[in-house]
Amino acid sequence: MAHDELISTTAAFVRERLRHDSSGHDWWHIDRVRRNASCLARQEGADVLVCELAALLHDVADWKFHGGDETAGPRAAREWLQSQSAEPAVIDAVCDIIARVSFKGAGVATDMPTLEGRCVQDADRLDAIGAIGIARAFAFGGHFGRPMYDPEHPPEWHPSFEAYKQKSGPTINHFYEKLLLLKDRMQTATGRRLAEQRHRVLEEFLAQFFAEWNGPG
Ligand code: ADP
Ligand code: NI
């Protein structure tokens, strides 16, 4: 199958699968990550097909929606790509990225050995910060019934993926537990540059949020 056709059939498959999502993992998240990944891949000289396929398939069976099972994502991606007779080397590269891409806790290093993986991870992380990142965090919190903020429930430092998986705190805590950490964990020069401004939007939002929370008195 030609590369363009594989990309378009994969996009249609993912769009259909994520049609009903309201947790910030909907098709338009995937579309933004794919466009960011494609842009980073061209800037950084990575393989564009692998980056676009990994971006398209990266949340198709996310552990957050599969009882914490982090093998569900790469497995679903492999089944799909095999059904489309994609090249085995492309399938392996894409599934390896999907297995590694997720944030796994403040204290956990996410090893990403390939340039393609670094482009996709940065693209996914760019969509977790800035104005869109703020909107997604509250969409996720609402979807899972989390409080918006609770001053009696401080943020936590998660030393392991297991601890991170079990967290259920307020959405504002997620900013300290993940979102504000992403800028310094970007892995490409382009990603680092794009993250700067989006990071400032998070900081400005939090300053305003707490100013309003504390009131004028
Ligand atoms: P990752 O695979 O790194 O987790 P995703 O593309 O799945 O990235 O997006 C994760 C996004 O979901 C977060 O950036 C945030 O917007 C939202 N999210 C995940 N966990 C929480 C949480 N506990 N509270 C609020 N938002 C969350
Ligand atoms: Ni994602």
Model pLDDT for residues 39-61, shown as the tens digit of each residue: 999 999 999 999 999 999 999 98
Q: Cβ contacts of residue 69 below 8 Å, gap of 6+?
A: 63
Q: What confidence tens digit (pLDDT) does each residue in 128-168 have?
A: 999 999 999 999 999 999 999 999 999 999 999 999 999 99
11-20: average pLDDT: 95
pTM for the model stands at: 0.96
Confidence of residue 105 (pLDDT cuts 50, 70, 90): very high
CB 70 within 8 A of CB 133: no
Ligand 1 atom closest to Cα of residue 29: 6
**Is pLDDT of 216 > 90?**
no
119-135: average pLDDT: 98
64, 177, 206, best to mutate for ligand 1 pocket (most atoms within 8 Å of CB) = 64
Give CA angle at 12 (10, 17), nearest 5°.
95
The rounded distance, in Å, linking the Cα atoms of 168 and 179 is 16
The ligand whose atoms approach the alpha carbon of 136 most closely is 1
Tally of CB atoms within 10 A around 178: 23
- Spacing, Cα 137 to ligand 1 middle (Å): 6
Confidence of residue 62 (pLDDT cuts 50, 70, 90): confident
- Spacing, Cα 163 to ligand 2 middle (Å): 20
Ligand 1 atom closest to Cα of residue 140: 26
Residues with CB under 6 A from ligand 1: 24-25, 59, 62, 101-103, 124, 128, 133, 136-137, 140-141, 146, 167, 171, 174
Across all residues in the chain, what is the average pLDDT? 96
Tally of CB atoms within 10 A around 16: 9
The rounded distance, in Å, linking the Cα atoms of 77 and 68 is 17
- Spacing, Cα 25 to ligand 2 middle (Å): 6
The rounded distance, in Å, linking the Cα atoms of 176 and 79 is 36
The ligand whose atoms approach the alpha carbon of 112 most closely is 1
Burial class (CB in 10 A: 0-12, 13-18, 19+), 65: middle
One-letter amino acid for residue 13 of the chain: F
62, 136, 199, best to mutate for ligand 1 pocket (most atoms within 8 Å of CB) = 136
**Is pLDDT of 94 > 80?**
yes
The rounded distance, in Å, linking the Cα atoms of 143 and 94 is 29
